[in-house]
A and B are shown apart, each in its own frame.
Chain A
Amino acid sequence: MIRKTSAFDIANHWVLALSFFILTVTGFGFLFHLELMNSIFGSFNRMRLIHNWSGIIFLVSLFLTMFIYLRVSVSFGPDDVGWILKAGGYLSRKAVVPPQDIINTGQKFFYLVFLLLGYAISASGLIIWLAAGVKKWVLLSHLIHNISFDLLVMLIPVHIYLGTFANPGTFRIMIYGTVPLEWAKKRHGKWVRRMGY
């Protein structure tokens, strides 16, 4: 076994995931006037409080997430080009892709896009909350909030799928933080080599 993620990062990822889930559910509640939410949260007034404060937790968690893979995510080399040309090996049962770092090219892109959208939806949400009634700022933020929302609800199911069913053996990272060495060598060869295995 080789450690891929620290206990702190695992805990933080769960906080991020859970707050995102609450924000998405309440967000859909607001968007489509789901009266069902009344029986879950008591009232839309309380749901608004839960939505706003979950947003704060999400933002703090997002900030803590930023320092894990930022450096590796902005590094881009021939192996990344190779990975993209093979579509990460996901469009074939037999595809072979270049050796990858601690996260692969797709994960790098996801990481960067998620950081961007996460900050966009947090900042716009804060403005809608704190600058309530200021037409110019709130209308722009409302637009950004909803564009980021649409992109995130499309992006996160892909992230969950790739981290569970599509890649057996990946989900344990979110529980134990460790992976079998053989697994790591095949999927993150560059990183394993750098670690001296």
Chain B
Amino acid sequence: MMRKSLLISPEVCIGCRGCQTACKEWNQLAGVKTRNTGSFENPPDLIPTLYNRIRYVEVPSEADRQRWLFVNQRCMHCGDAGCMKICPAPGALYRTPEGAVAFSKEKCIGCKLCVTACPFNVPRYDINNKISKCHLCSDRISEGLPPACSKVCPTGAIRFGDRDALIEYAKVTGYAKVYGERDLDGLGALYAFKDAPSIYGMNESPAIPESVVFWNNILKPLSYLGIGGVVALALIHYVAFGPHKEEEEKYDEQHDKKDQRL
């Protein structure tokens, strides 16, 4: 199956937050009381009951008083996902045929390792200590429907479709560089940015923590190669040198100071 993804275009986003509402509705996520922090941004961060949200970014500008950017934040569905790499519970995080990183609360063991390995600080944990994050509406897209956020978006700021086609579309419409085209084996949430990603508050070069990569590529295989190698060496030693036998040796007190056969 063709890998599916989202194409997010802050330039056409009007900040209506329909995506937040539609997501909550489809995924049956409870509303949470928040505080007024002097911004339309609400809630101020991703929470277990909010899988995607609009960040309101204010950037000083020469032309206008300032630029106001609306950037959708969510799980990026990395092609090479740090969360999936580090997760110790089989099936807790899994890749859908469409390329989404979905989860199973039943199989999640609540260790929060995924939180530490995520390059985008996305996974949250619910009150039952189970993972909670955007799963690209895997229950919708498997039936050929677009994710709720994309379905409801009135301006096309969140487009859903075949990943290659979306990249092509972004390039045709004037975005030379698509954020997430190559990083982490390609993100499942692409961004069409007019300026440098950092202006939009995005990491220019997202990466899985080096220690996690080192562990995955070196330490993990070394564990079974090591235990196997050592057992093999013990066998070889047993055949080559054999056990330490006492034979008929007698302990000689006169030779106390001298070397003794062990």
Stretch at the interface among A11-19, A84-92, A113-121: A84-92
CB distance from B103 to the nearest CB of A (A): 14
Q: Which residue from chain A places its CB closest to the CB of B118 in the assembled complex?
A: A135
- Residue interface mask B74-107, A partner, CB < 8 A = 1: 0000000000001011101000000000000001
- Within the complex, the shortest CB–CB distance from B114 to chain A, in Å, comes to 9
Which A residues are in CB contact (< 8 Å) with B212? Answer: 139, 142
Task: Map CB proximity to A onto B221-248 as digits: 1 under 8 Å, 0 otherwise.
Answer: 0111011011100100110011111100
Q: Contacts A33-B90, A135-B115 known; A153 to B227 CB distance under 8 Å?
A: yes
The answer to whether B249 and A150 touch across the interface, beta carbons within 8 angstroms, is: no
**Are A89 and B230 in contact, CB atoms less than 8 angstroms apart?**
no
In the complex with contacts A44-B88, A186-B249, A157-B230 CB distance below 8 A: yes
CB distance from A165 to the nearest CB of B (A): 6
The answer to whether A166 has its CB under 8 Å from any CB of chain B is yes
| Contact with B245, one of A47, A97, A168 (Cβ below 8 angstroms) | A168
Contacts of A140 in B (CB 8 A): 211
CA distance A182 to B226 in the complex (A): 36
Report B-chain residues with C-beta under 8 Å of the C-beta of A40. none
Nearest CB on A from B130, distance (A): 10
- Please tell me if A183 contacts chain B, counting CB pairs below 8 Å: yes
Tally of chain A residues near chain B (CB < 8 A):
57
A98 to chain B: closest residue by CB = B259
Contact for A193 among B110, B245, B256, CB less than 8 A = B256
CA distance A166 to B236 in the complex (A): 11
Confirm or deny: B260 has a beta carbon within 8 angstroms of a beta carbon on chain A.
yes
CB of A157, distance to nearest CB on chain B (Å)? 5
A29 — nearest CB in chain B belongs to which residue?
A: B88
User: Distance in Å from the Cβ of A2 to the closest Cβ of chain B?
Assistant: 13
How many chain B residues touch the partner (CB < 8 A)? 47
Interface residues of A in 48-92 (CB under 8 A from B): 48, 82, 88-92
* Contacting residues, chain B, for A100 (C-beta < 8 A): 262
Q: Tell me how far the C-beta of B205 lies from the nearest C-beta in chain A, rounded to whole angstroms.
A: 18
Report the separation of the CA atoms of residues A35 and B223 in the bound assembly, to the nearest whole angstrom.
18
Closest to A131 in B: B112
B 193-223 binary contact with A (CB < 8 Å = 1; else 0): 0000000000000000101101100011011
In the assembled complex, which residues on chain B have CB atoms less than 8 Å from the CB atom of A194? none
B116: contacting residue among A30, A33, A138, CB under 8 A: A138
Nearest neighbor of A88 in chain B, beta-carbon distance: B262
Q: Are A157 and B260 in contact (CB under 8 A)?
A: no
A142 touches B256 (CB 8 A): no
Instruction: Give the residue among A34, A47, A146 with the most B Cβ atoms within 10 A.
Output: A146
Contact status B215-A143, CB under 8 Å? yes
Q: Which of A96, A134, A154, A169 has the most CB of B within 10 A?
A: A154
- Of B107, B241, B244, the most chain A CB neighbours within 10 A belong to B244
Residue in B closest to A164 when the chains form the complex, CB atoms? B243
List the B side residues contacting A45 at CB < 8 Å: 89, 109-110
B contact residues around A82 at 8 Å (CB): 259
CB distance from B192 to the nearest CB of A (A): 29
For residue B117, which residue of chain A has the nearest CB?
A139
The residue from B230, B241, B256, B261 contacting A154, defined by CB atoms under 8 A apart: B230
Q: Which residues, 105 to 141 on A, are CB-close (under 8 Å) to B? A: 128, 132-135, 138-140
Q: Select B111's contact among A99, A132, A186, beta carbons within 8 Å.
A: A132
Q: Please give, as numbers and ranges, the residues of chain A lying within 8 Å of B249 by CB-CB distance.
A: 186
Residue of A96, A132, A138, A139 near B262 (CB, 8 A) is A96
* B243→A92 contact, CB < 8 A: no
**Cβ-defined contact, A146 with B88, below 8 A:** no
Cβ of B260 and Cβ of A96 under 8 Å apart?
Answer: yes
9 residue pairs bridging A and B, Cβ less than 8 Å apart: A98-B259, A99-B260, A138-B113, A138-B116, A153-B223, A158-B234, A166-B237, A168-B245, A189-B260
15 further contact pairs, Cβ within 8 A, besides A48-B110, A99-B260, A133-B112: A33-B90, A92-B241, A95-B262, A96-B260, A135-B115, A139-B116, A139-B209, A142-B113, A146-B219, A154-B229, A157-B231, A161-B237, A169-B246, A182-B251, A193-B256
